[in-house]
Structure 1
Amino acid sequence: MVAKMVIETENLRLVPCDAQLLKMAIKGNKQLSKFLGVSLADQWTTFGVDALQYALDQILARPGELGWWTYFPIHKLDNTLIGSGGYKGSPTEDGTVELGYEIASGYCNRGLATEMARGLIMKAFMDNRVKSILAHTLAQSNASTTVLAKCGFTKIEEVESTEDGLIWKWELIRP
């Protein structure tokens, strides 16, 4: 883990996952907790092991993309891993990255998802290649759409997904 890539916000420390950290997360909660030296919130991830394995495969295939995949949000006061988030790879040729995030239910409705998203947005826009950030949500008002709206995203399109049905596509353009 490269210390300079950690994103600090008021209540969170967003730890970028390298291959070793992702392997620990895939092994299980006990190993991950010990490796990070933190507690884990109940059901800290709904994305699951498949998403972690996918990120690991991408980092191993393209080590230069380290920092453009998974981040683990550690709640500073509780020293607890409370979710996951990050990007779906480094900026594309046209300068877009896609953002995703999740917060354990016991930590919802405290502004932490918004805080995590803002930290990830700030990190992305520190890279001059990034012109816009995309995100996708289910096609209904929910906690995630509220987070994106608070962060300045605009709903730009409705898209049919083979996995999720109708989804909304959101965009935040570099200020």
Structure 2
Amino acid sequence: MVAEKVVETGNLRLVPCDAQLLKMAIKGNKQLSEFLGVSLADHWTQFGVGALQYALDQILARPWELGWWTYFPIHKLDNMLIGSGGYKGSPTEEGTVELGYEIAPGYCNRGLATEMTRGLIMKAFTDNRVKSILAHTLGQANASTTVLTKCGFTKIEEIESTEDGLIWKWELIRPELVGGVITFC
């Protein structure tokens, strides 16, 4: 079904999306559910079809970036698609990738966003080109800032966006570059 390997965490299977899987997701929930053989949580995505189409367009234009876009987190116990996440493309020349994630409201406050983020971090750092991982949040304490802090990210910049207002930029540096080991709280 997918060329890239599924990322396994304690409670989740992070399924990397190839072009075929993204096309099913764009067609609709029924097609996606049947294709993956899972149920879909209510409101499993807030990013919507536009983000899925963008990822599909990127993979079709640059097939070597397969595995550097969308992942679907499947809650193992429920066999339920509970959100989406992934990266915004392959590592830059400077060795950075940016990640993002979302969890369906019915699965929030269970540590699953943190678990998914940890899985994405570990996947990114298996590629020696990745020197750091970036993320952006709204410029206030919220669930995403808590997730990033738990995963070892540091807020490095405040950016004023005309669309979203204050944005915080976060970074996690590859542990070997700071002489440490990734430790999660």
Identify whether the pair has TM-score above 0.5, normalized to the shorter chain. Answer: yes
| 2:77 alignment partner in structure 1 | 77
Return the letter of the residue paired with 1:98: E
Q: Indicate the percent of aligned positions where both proteins have the same amino acid.
A: 90
Tell me the distance in 2 between the aligned counterparts of 1:64 and 1:162: 33
C-alpha displacement of 1:4:
5.2
What TM-score comes out, normalization by structure 1 length?
0.98
Return the letter of the residue paired with 2:134: L
What TM-score comes out, normalization by structure 2 length?
0.93
CA RMSD of aligned residues (A): 0.9
| 2:57 alignment partner in structure 1 | 57
| 1:6 alignment partner in structure 2 | 6
| 1:142 alignment partner in structure 2 | 142
Q: Which moved more, 1:3-12 or 1:103-112?
A: 3-12
Tell me the distance in 2 between the aligned counterparts of 1:160 and 1:15: 34
C-alpha displacement of 1:17:
0.3
- Deviation per CA, 1:98-154, whole angstroms, max 9, x where unpaired? 010000000000000000000000000000000000000000000000000000000
- How does 1:9-158 map onto structure 2 within 5 Å? 9-158=9-158
SS in 2 for 1:5: coil
Query: Which structure 2 segments of 5+ residues have no match?
Result: 176-185
Return the letter of the residue paired with 1:132: S
- Deviation per CA, 1:70-121, whole angstroms, max 9, x where unpaired? 0000000000000000000000000000010000000000000000000000
SS in 2 for 1:33: helix
Number of residues of Structure 1 aligned to a counterpart in Structure 2: 175
Contact 2:4 2:67 in 1 (8 A): no
C-alpha displacement of 1:5:
1.6
Tell me the distance in 2 between the aligned counterparts of 1:55 and 1:3: 16
SS in 2 for 1:14: strand
Return the letter of the residue paired with 1:71: Y
C-alpha displacement of 1:166:
1.1
